[in-house]
């Protein structure tokens, strides 16, 4: 008899502890729901269901939390229809918990917006394909850049990223081919002018060389429109070097052409011009002092003044 009493007391204690764990878990779960801490609430409902697997209140809310979590994942992965279907299925089965209703409504809005954004991106991708087929590469690249910078289209854009990357590769290849084609045309035209100028004056010859140099800048045009500050600065440095090389060639030709007294005067004038060029570049860059554009403006001014000097020397001294 004594032994039986001990067993009954032991069972009662166990039963009492179980009820306590269930009640505490439910309490924590409801508190987390009220605070919008749904992941924490789900974990607490799991503990409660471990104690009472068939509890209708705990299992009902837990099921909704599982759906909520799955809908979130579907939206993150761009699975808009799946997310909307899960929410609709839940609504048909039971009323959504009051503390979850607003959050579910927000997920529905997100899924609907995502679906619309996917449609927008799909249309843009088709437009880009058309531009690429028309070899309008710069407009196509501009549209891609706009999509990448649009935060609202971020998730939808990711769904098309592989396709867009392939288009970007085609665009860059096309731009390069167009630049090379322009160079070839410029070279042919320059050769034709050179051939014509062989029987003419040195002035005509060097004008054609300067024109060739100017047309050869075509490969830098896209960088000026779409490049970063660093890329634009590098492009301007290239432009400056090309005009500086042209200036040195002209100066070398004048050394052979001009009488010694005229060459000496030109030498002095050239030293003054170099000072003027660098001071002008510093003055132009000063308006951007402290900014990343200052160095761009400095080199850009040098390039432009060097170009002007090339034409000036040819016009004034070439025979």
Query: Quick one: average pLDDT of 200-228?
Result: 83
Chain centre distance of CA 101: 37
Query: Quick one: average pLDDT of 37-42?
Result: 93
Q: Single out the residue of 226, 228, 312 nearest to residue 273, CA to CA.
A: 312
Task: Give the integer Cα–Cα distance in Å for 80 and 86.
Answer: 10
Chain centre distance of CA 297: 25
Task: Give the integer Cα–Cα distance in Å for 194 and 188.
Answer: 10
Question: What average pLDDT does the structure give for the chain?
Answer: 85
- The matching CATH number, chosen from 3.30.720, 1.25.40, 2.60.40, 1.10.3470, for 16-127 is 1.25.40
- What does the DSSP 8-state code read for residue 37? -
How crowded is residue 46: how many other Cβ atoms within 10 Å of its Cβ? 14
Q: Exposure of 8 by Cβ count < 10 A (0-12 exposed, 13-18 middle, 19+ buried)?
A: exposed
Q: Describe the crossing of helices 2-34 and 98-133 by its angle, rounded to 10 degrees.
A: 50
Concatenating the DSSP letter of every residue in 186-251 gives: HHHHHHHHHHHHTTS-HHHHHHHHHHHHHHGGGGGHHHHHH--HHHHHHHHHHHHHHHHHHHHHHH
Looking at residue 112, what is its pLDDT?
87
Q: Look up residue 273 and give its two tokens.
A: 């011009």
Q: Look up residue 258 and give its two tokens.
A: 């001009």
Q: Single out the residue of 265, 254, 255 nearest to residue 317, CA to CA.
A: 254
Looking at residue 196, what is its pLDDT?
55
Chain centre distance of CA 47: 46
Please tell me whether residue 44 adopts helix, strand or coil conformation: helix
Q: Which pTM value belongs to this model?
A: 0.45
Query: What tens digit of pLDDT does each residue of 108-142 get?
Result: 898 888 888 889 889 989 999 999 999 998 998 99
Is pLDDT at 309 greater than 80 in this prediction? yes
Q: Single out the residue of 216, 279, 208, 300 nearest to residue 250, CA to CA.
A: 208
- CA end-to-end span of the chain, whole Å? 133
Is pLDDT at 25 greater than 90 in this prediction? yes
Looking at residue 11, what is its pLDDT?
35
Please tell me whether residue 103 adopts helix, strand or coil conformation: helix
Task: Give the integer Cα–Cα distance in Å for 137 and 141.
Answer: 6
Q: Single out the residue of 301, 170, 141, 163 nearest to residue 236, CA to CA.
A: 301
Q: Describe the crossing of helices 98-133 and 80-93 by its angle, rounded to 10 degrees.
A: 160
């Amino acid at each position: 008899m004594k032994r039986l009493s001990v067993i009954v007391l032991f069972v009662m204690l166990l039963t009492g502890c179980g009820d306590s764990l269930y009640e505490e878990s439910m309490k924590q779960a409801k508190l987390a729901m009220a605070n919008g801490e749904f992941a924490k609430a789900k974990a607490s409902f799991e503990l409660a269901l471990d104690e009472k697997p068939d509890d209708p209140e705990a299992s009902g809310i837990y099921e909704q939390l599982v759906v909520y979590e799955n809908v979130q994942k579907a939206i993150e992965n761009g699975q808009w229809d799946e997310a909307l279907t899960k929410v609709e299925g839940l609504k048909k089965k039971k009323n959504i918990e009051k503390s979850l209703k607003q959050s579910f409504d927000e997920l529905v809005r997100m899924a609907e917006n995502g679906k619309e954004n996917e449609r927008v991106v799909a249309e843009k991708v088709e437009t880009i394909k058309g531009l690429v087929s028309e070899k309008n590469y710069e407009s196509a690249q501009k549209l891609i850049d706009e999509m990448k910078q649009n935060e609202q289209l971020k998730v939808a854009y990711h769904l098309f990223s592989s396709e867009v990357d392939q288009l970007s590769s085609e665009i860059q290849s096309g731009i390069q081919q167009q630049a090379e084609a322009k160079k070839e045309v410029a070279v042919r035209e320059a050769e034709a002018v050179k051939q014509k100028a062989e029987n003419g004056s040195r002035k005509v010859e060097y004008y054609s060389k300067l024109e060739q140099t100017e047309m050869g800048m075509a490969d830098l045009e896209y960088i000026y429109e779409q490049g970063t500050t660093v890329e634009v600065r590098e492009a301007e440095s290239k432009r400056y070097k090309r005009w500086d090389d042209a200036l040195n060639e002209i100066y070398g030709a004048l050394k052979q052409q001009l009488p010694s007294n005229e060459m000496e005067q030109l030498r002095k004038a050239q030293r003054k011009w170099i000072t003027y060029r660098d001071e002008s570049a510093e003055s132009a860059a000063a308006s951007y002092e402290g900014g990343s554009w200052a160095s761009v403006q400095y080199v850009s001014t040098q390039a432009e003044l060097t170009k002007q000097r090339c034409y000036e020397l040819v016009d004034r001294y070439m025979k």
